[in-house]
Structure 1
Amino acid sequence: MTPAADAMAAEPRCGRGASIWEARRVASVNPPRGMRDFLPAEKARRERVLAVIRDRYSAHGFDEIETPVMEEYSRLHAGIGGDNEKLAYNVLKRGLDADAVRRAAEDPSALTDLGLRYDLTVPLARFYASHRAELPAVFRAIQSAPVWRAERPQKGRYRQFVQCDIDVIGDASPRAEAELVVATLDAVDALGLEGATVRINDRRVLDWMLDGFGFIAGERPGLLITIDKLDKIGPEGVIAELRDPQGSDSSAVDAIEGFLRRPMTLEYNPYGERQIRKLLPPDAPDEIVAHLVGIGAAVAAARPAAPGGDIPLVFDPFLVRGMGYYTGTIFELAHPSVDYSLGGGGRYDGMIGRFLGQEVPAVGFSIGFERIVELVSAMAEGSAPAVVLVHDRDVPLDDLLALKAALIGEGSRVRLEQRTKNLKALLERAASDGYTAFATVSAGTGRDSLEVKALD
């Protein structure tokens, strides 16, 4: 017996039925806060949803890549990740002793050299800078992987979650945004969530508006946080917050209040130049408006509207998106069944230049996978059945495995289960794990005599 086993054997039990492990007070069996375990049925459903998304993205010419779960600390904290940088999980350097920790207590970068990725965009920018010579001039990437943020756990917000991103690098034209929008809507449709729309804006036109109202550049971050609440608290709430004693200049607040309360005609305009200019102050920059109009024209060509219908784009001049690295077009995915976004993205032309020393146009769209999974109803496994073979104890193992192999060869998914007294409970559990049929196997049962029944 090893010394460890010796010690375990000598460990006294604490009370009747208590185990050695209870006596040693092992850690909780629950996953860390904000992280989750997935039982087989839920894991299978998540993988099916992910497979549909990947399939539709691939059909639109995007190629899947993979990057490490960790990046260098300096890259994750280079000022390009916005508020997410504050939520990064950092990894201590190896070999630090107590004195080294004390000396570096005031400087996190002296304690850590790596960190878990908090999104997939920063790793993609590093990936492209590293492999540019091996990639096409216009590179279309798929990434679907977990990311980590030190969030405060709450309903719908986790510390580990999956992101599904598509990005176009190397194309500054409206084609890039249009390809992202069309591929994303196609994926959402394939998941049974027809009727989705994309709200769209441009950070440049938003900055132009705020400059025109008189807001100074230094107060822009806090101002955008307030404006981003427009959907939730309305114009009155936004103006009240901006008029806070510590808020913005009163003349600038007067200007934006006048714009928000301006009289509007009831005329409806579908997405296009007329809709965009109607929702902006006069003399909006022609170049930006033309870019937004071009996106709409390309999306309309790919997704012709039904007679009397519109393309699934809506211009929103006060759409903000929180990431600090956005430089142009921004968008959010909306669905009529919920009052929150199901994804979003935008242009980040300045990020890759941080690594290459030259500007490279880039734009991406991320589906909110965790939110999508909650909306998508359980998807069918397909025509191939998933069968549980419930066998008696005396059935020879060779016969069981031969029967299982035969069903697998026919395209079925097969699980072996020994018969229990409570057959109903066994079958209920199998159904909850995604199995659709069962058959009982006795000694001498062969493929020809096997009777497969549906699990109701």
Structure 2
Amino acid sequence: MRDFLPADKTRRERVLAVIRERYRAHGFDEIETPVMEDYDRLHAGIGGDNEKLAFNVLKRGLDADAIRAAADDAAALSDLGLRYDLTVPLARFYATHRAELPSVFRAIQMAPVWRAERPQKGRYRQFVQCDIDIIGDATGRAEAELLVASLDALDALGLVGGSIRINDRRVLDWMLGSFGFAAEERAGVLITIDKLDKIGAEGVAAELRERGATPNAVDAFDAFLRRPRTREYRPYGEGHILKALPEGAPADIVADLVVIGAAVSAARAVSADDAQGAPLVFDPFLVRGMGYYTGTIFELAHPSVTYSLGGGGRYDGMIGRFLGQQVPAVGFSLGFERIVDLLEDADDAGMSTIVLVHERDVPVGELLALKAALVAEGARVRVEQRTKNLKALLERAAADGYSSFATVAAGQAREALEIKPLG
């Protein structure tokens, strides 16, 4: 958990403002949920490995004997916990407020979450998530809206050229079945397949054999990975998807993926014949670890980095656990912390930022009147009394994000201020 100095905080808020503005432009509405949820809800088996990283809150009123008696039972010790993501709170929110919401609800959530991670570079115990979700729409339009809005937000931040890897958990399950993996072993097989980018085809096959996966299925999967392939530059579409899968892929699922791709390409003004410009890439081995995904899954990529900048998927079964009836839902989360790190040199969105350096004898009323006049013009203004070391004062102001300064003497009018650039 980190402190943020003024320049860092300003940069973070600027990025959040851009993302919020683009998501609102696409018709999403922002909500807010409490930082804590009921323990039973956070540990209902829908949060995957994140449930193990939840910070739990000790029940009030337990004495030492009660704590000792329940030392091995977290559920007996805790009744609340800090949220580890924004999806579980959203499902609870929708179940609580469904009657007050539109039939298709487009939600924005931008807020901190907490996980008991081992602190290391790039992993924090408190971090911000930027989520958009569409609840109540079972069609591919929902996925397309999410992907277009997220790519638009990335563009608005100056990270042009992003693309999205897409797959479907139903395709993954069918593919594993076609190779011969039994239903009960597929969850473990997916954990290994998720390492394909890191350990390669040989490593995946070796690990599957070590895990004791069905030998014939491993052989079939290994042969599929090693099959000869021609190098083609096809755009995202039916032919591209079918070529990446074993023969006999379910036509309905492939059709769903094609519809999403066509809609995103149309919204992004990408020609159907432009393979290089297509913002989607079908990846039959994209897994994503959350067990609650029921259909499409996706990850946001950018050519400037090797890691993803966001992702999400369809989770049609989650809200039903709270509501008692099934409601379709799909969401996308931008990797805010990773994106902020890529934008360290972002400017101040054109705002005029001025430090007024005044002499000791300038009356307070005059000084604040000058400041008010500049603020009314749209500037951000800081007032500083001149010090012996003016250079250090100005360097500090520049480090805090100010771009210009003016010196102020007693009796000086706004028109007489000479505003100079810093640095």
Which category of TM-score, normalised to the shorter sequence, fits these structures?
over 0.9
State the 1:310 CA deviation. Answer: 3.3
Distance 1:322 1:121 in 2: 14
Distance 1:175 1:260 in 2: 32
Is the 1:388–1:430 Cα contact (8 Å) retained in structure 2?
yes
Is the 1:271–1:310 Cα contact (8 Å) retained in structure 2?
no
State the 1:434 CA deviation. Answer: 0.8
Q: Mark the structure with the bigger radius of gyration.
A: 1
TM-score scaled by structure 1?
0.90
Is the 1:81–1:325 Cα contact (8 Å) retained in structure 2?
yes
State the 1:297 CA deviation. Answer: 1.1
Secondary structure at the counterpart of residue 415 of structure 2: coil
1:436 paired residue number: 403
Distance 2:269 2:344 in 1: 27
Q: Cα deviations across residues 205-235 of structure 1 (Å, max 9, x unaligned)?
A: 1011111212223323322111011111111
Distance 1:224 1:69 in 2: 32
Secondary structure at the counterpart of residue 332 of structure 1: strand
State the 1:248 CA deviation. Answer: 1.1
State the 1:384 CA deviation. Answer: 3.3
State the 1:270 CA deviation. Answer: 1.2
Alignment of 1:412 with 2:412, yes or no, is: no
Q: Cα deviations across residues 391-423 of structure 1 (Å, max 9, x unaligned)?
A: 111211111111111111111111111111111
2:10 paired residue number: 44
Secondary structure at the counterpart of residue 144 of structure 1: strand
Alignment of 1:237 with 2:203, yes or no, is: yes
Between 54-63 and 308-317, the greater mean CA deviation after superposition: 308-317
State the 1:294 CA deviation. Answer: 0.7
Alignment partner of 1:166 out of 132, 136, 160: 132
1:391-402 counterparts in 2 under 5 A? 391-402=358-369
Alignment of 1:92 with 2:62, yes or no, is: no
Alignment of 1:147 with 2:147, yes or no, is: no
Identity of aligned residues (%): 76
Distance 1:275 1:376 in 2: 34
1:370 paired residue number: 337
Q: Cα deviations across residues 295-331 of structure 1 (Å, max 9, x unaligned)?
A: 0111121112267443200000010000010000000
Distance 1:408 1:300 in 2: 43
Is the 1:219–1:248 Cα contact (8 Å) retained in structure 2?
yes
Gaps of 5+ in 1: 1-34
2:188 paired residue number: 222
1:202 paired residue number: 168
Between 143-152 and 233-242, the greater mean CA deviation after superposition: 233-242
Alignment of 1:331 with 2:298, yes or no, is: yes
2:309 paired residue number: 342
State the 1:267 CA deviation. Answer: 3.6
2:412 paired residue number: 445
Distance 1:403 1:310 in 2: 51
Is the 1:304–1:311 Cα contact (8 Å) retained in structure 2?
no
Distance 1:380 1:105 in 2: 52
Alignment of 1:185 with 2:147, yes or no, is: no
Q: Deviation above 3 Å: which 4+ runs of structure 1?
A: 306-310
TM-score scaled by structure 2?
0.97
Secondary structure at the counterpart of residue 176 of structure 1: helix
1:106 paired residue number: 72
Q: Cα deviations across residues 166-202 of structure 1 (Å, max 9, x unaligned)?
A: 0000001000000000000000011111111000000
**Cα distance 1:318–1:382, how it changes in 2: closer, same or farther (>3 A)?**
closer
Is the 2:11–2:344 Cα contact (8 Å) retained in structure 1?
no
Distance 2:314 2:130 in 1: 17
1:422 paired residue number: 389
Alignment partner of 2:277 out of 275, 299, 310: 310
Gaps of 5+ in 2: none
Secondary structure at the counterpart of residue 245 of structure 2: coil
Distance 2:37 2:282 in 1: 36
2:32 paired residue number: 66
Is the 1:88–1:148 Cα contact (8 Å) retained in structure 2?
yes
Task: Read off the aligned partner of 2:11 and give its amino acid letter.
Answer: R
Is the 1:40–1:433 Cα contact (8 Å) retained in structure 2?
yes
Q: CA RMSD in A?
A: 1.2
Distance 2:346 2:132 in 1: 23
Distance 1:334 1:197 in 2: 5
Between 440-449 and 35-44, the greater mean CA deviation after superposition: 440-449
Number of residue pairs aligned between Structure 1 and Structure 2: 421
Is the 1:330–1:345 Cα contact (8 Å) retained in structure 2?
yes
2:231 paired residue number: 266
State the 1:377 CA deviation. Answer: 4.5
Secondary structure at the counterpart of residue 281 of structure 1: coil
